[in-house]
Amino acid sequence: MKLNALTLALLATSAAAQAQQQKNEEHEHINDHEVIVINASPLDKTALESAQPINIISGDALKQLHAHSLGETLAMEPGINNTHFANVAGSPIIRGLGGPRVKITQNGLDTGDVSRGSPDHAVTTETSTAQQIEVLRGPATLLYGSGAIGGVINVVDNRIPSEPIYGLQGNANISGSTNNESKEGSYDLQIGNGRWALYTDAFIRSANDYETPTFINDEGEKVDHVENTFIDAQGGTVGASYQFDDGFFGVSYQGIYQEYGIPGHEHGHEEDEHADKPALEEVAHSEEAGPYADLEQERIQFAGQWRNPFSGFNRIDFRGALTDYQHQEIEAGLVGTQFENEQKEIRLVAQHEAIAGWKGAVGWQWDISDKSAVGDEAFTPNTSRRTQGLFWVVEREFGAHHVDLGIRHENTKLSAEELGTKTYDATSASAGYLYHFSDHTSVSFNLSHAERAPTGNEVFANGNHFATRTYELGLAYALHEESNGEYHIESNDVSVETETSNNIDAGFHYENERFHANVNLFYNRVDDFIYDDFLGIDSGQIHSDDAHSANEEPHEDEHLHGSELQVVKFSQVDAELYGYEIELDWELTDNWSLHGFSDYTRAKQRDGDNLPRIPAQRIGTEVRYQAVSWDGSIGYTRFLEQDKITQNETVTDAYGLLNARINLYPDWLANYGATLYLEGENLTDQLGFVHSSFLKDDAPVTGRRFQVGVSITF
């Protein structure tokens, strides 16, 4: 049964009003996150102690950044961009890398959704009830496997309390906004007696199609909104843990339910085909605007810790998850395609005592996934993945010098119906060095070698993908051009290689009482880089008995339907990516401060051609004012022109976004730890197109938008 999250949120707010008076929490400085322990690290590090570039967003900063999708939540972090499938789905892009190269985890375990395979598939993390988000830029394969060759986003919550809790504590938030008339409510509650702890959270969110400045879409229509971008989402979690003298153990259950529009997902060209072929099933609800996704995920998670288990080890941490995911893509009341994923994962990490002065941790990860797709967009056959990995990380201090070393080996088996099994072995290693010149200044260097096994989609895809308006062909297939200009799909005899990355990061950090600076430079050399290459032909030019979606029977001598679908072929090339991230904070006075950032990624094939959909360079600045009873900020971010494009791409013009926010801490609400806030986005109503988006010409950024809300901490 779906949870009535708004009702629970109101009850939580009422409970907060009756709770014991709490001291009003002092407003967090934006850089305080650097003293927070990194949950994703088994060695209890903070961001300042890591040679690898890491950002942690928590507290007030996370509340202010929170948005419907994870990609939108993190879109303004240095080095992070958003895939921007309108506002309905968005995944993080780290230094130009996204999809299967960025691992998204919930408390260190894979989210278990299918968002890594397509930009129109939602990420099933919920940031409204999260404690912090950890961003590991650059390869993080040692701890999380080959799916983290580009970085890791770890969303941390307290659904399984790992520390003793005494009494009642929690948060509640309610907000609404103009433009798309969005409404949202959420809460999280924890209660305990020092031994037992109970946790619960819930959220509810709805929005209509969002408005934009007037623009001409790729069909030549003059429009001022993006059709079919409604959102209807809700979910909740219950969890419990027991604290014993040398550790804890707990379990949680989460359910997430979403319906959201799929803009640009037009099936009009298939009306004749649908007339002859029944849909999977008929559903009662349909949206007049067009196709939509109906998503449901249930997840059971386990966690435990055993401190001082036996000689030589400080503790053993255990995490496990069982995830059942499905979403249906529905048009005109009929289910056209259904995606499912059943995933199981276990992680064991043992922190050992120092060996010859090196303290560290050894770990084992086991992960299996069974994915299936049935219907019009089943462009990938049913695929199973089996992965096991072993890793060891160590660190040692030599006075002001800090050294990290690590190695991981994993084995992955990909199996697809009628296409057999492919096995890949991947070995990754890293070496990090951090030197503190003084209490204020440090430099870091991180070298990493990472290998990634390809995904089932990259290897086995063969079919229509209407959401991105493409026909996708995996590495297992080749296109042969005939003399008449038509193309035939054939099996590809070329072996699929493991993707190999050699990466170097150099960082500089300076901080005193008034000024803070972070500068990171990176260079990533990738062999056998897998990318989706737009060939400049459409699916109407493909003529073959084998040209059919992966789970459909071919029709004899058939042409592919949908001549407007651009053919995308996964290919392997040698590539390089390099760039920088800069972040500065300067407290001008006790009240006024200035924040600035810039980032840039240059991504190209080593033979000189550019890689597709690489985000543009950005420069941003923000002025902040903080008083006793209120604070505010106003900032401007400039997205520069992206003209480093590949074949069949177009240049994306520059644009700028002006945003502002005011937080009020009224005395009459101080007893409840309450904050009233008003936020304005894109105040100048600028028209901006996102170069990394598959819907670049049809889904610009949101127009002028105001949001008002209240947040309560107790």
Mean pLDDT by 10 residues, the chain (714 residues): 41 37 36 59 76 86 91 94 93 93 93 88 92 88 85 93 93 95 96 96 96 90 93 96 96 96 62 48 54 94 95 95 94 85 96 93 94 79 90 92 93 82 89 92 94 86 82 87 80 84 95 94 96 84 56 41 73 95 96 97 93 96 94 97 92 97 87 90 97 93 96 89
User: Which residue, 366, 383, 291, is CA-closest to 88?
Assistant: 291
User: Which residue, 527, 1, 57, is CA-closest to 238?
Assistant: 1
CA–CA gap between residue 63 and residue 27 (Å, rounded): 12
Q: Where are the beta strands (DSSP E) in 161-312?
A: 166-177, 183-193, 196-207, 211-216, 222-225, 231-244, 247-261, 292-307
Tokens for 35, please give them: 């003293």
Out of 3.40.50.150, 2.40.170.20, 3.30.70.20, 3.90.110.10, which CATH number does the structure's domain 5-713 have? 2.40.170.20
Give me the pLDDT at residue 543, please.
67
**239 close to 199: Cβ distance less than 8 angstroms:** yes
For tokens 């008083």, the residue is 627
Q: Where are the beta strands (DSSP E) in 487-617?
A: 487-491, 499-511, 515-538, 566-587, 592-605
**636 close to 620: Cβ distance less than 8 angstroms:** yes
Give me the pLDDT at residue 270, please.
43
Using a 10 angstrom Cβ sphere, with 0-12 exposed, 13-18 middle and 19 or more buried, the burial of residue 380 is: buried
Give me the pLDDT at residue 447, please.
94
**181 close to 197: Cβ distance less than 8 angstroms:** no
Could you say which DSSP state residue 496 is in?
A: P
Quickly list H helices, 193-322: 271-276
Longest dimension (CA), the chain: 81
Give CA angle at 602 (601, 608), nearest 5°: 165
CA–CA gap between residue 456 and residue 454 (Å, rounded): 7
CA–CA gap between residue 101 and residue 140 (Å, rounded): 10
User: What are the backbone dihedrals phi and psi of residue 29, each rounded to the nearest 5 degrees, phi first?
Assistant: -75, 145
For the chain, what's the residue count? 714
Give me the pLDDT at residue 25, please.
37
CA–CA gap between residue 8 and residue 2 (Å, rounded): 12
Residues 6+ apart with CB under 8 A from 397: none
Element (H, E) at 329: strand 313-331
CA–CA gap between residue 389 and residue 411 (Å, rounded): 6
Residues 6+ apart with CB under 8 A from 693: 83, 84, 85, 119, 613, 699
Residues 6+ apart with CB under 8 A from 318: 302, 303, 304, 305, 306, 346, 347, 348
User: Strand 566-587 vs strand 592-605: parallel, antiparallel, or unpaired?
Assistant: antiparallel
Residue 578, Cβ neighbours under 10 Å: how many? 18
For the range 69-73, what are the long-range contacts, defined as Cβ-Cβ under 8 Å and sequence gap of 24 or more? 69/122, 69/123, 70/104, 70/123, 70/125, 70/127, 70/153, 70/155, 71/123, 73/127, 73/133
Tokens for 302, please give them: 């386990």
Distances (CA, A) of 78 to 58, 89, 504: 16, 20, 18
DSSP conformation letters of 639-682: E--B----TT---B--EEEEEEEEEE--GGGGGGTEEEEEEEES
Give me the pLDDT at residue 269, please.
41
How much of the chain is helix, strand and coil, in % rounded to 5? 10, 55, 35
Using a 10 angstrom Cβ sphere, with 0-12 exposed, 13-18 middle and 19 or more buried, the burial of residue 507 is: buried
Using a 10 angstrom Cβ sphere, with 0-12 exposed, 13-18 middle and 19 or more buried, the burial of residue 437 is: exposed
Could you say which DSSP state residue 692 is in?
A: T
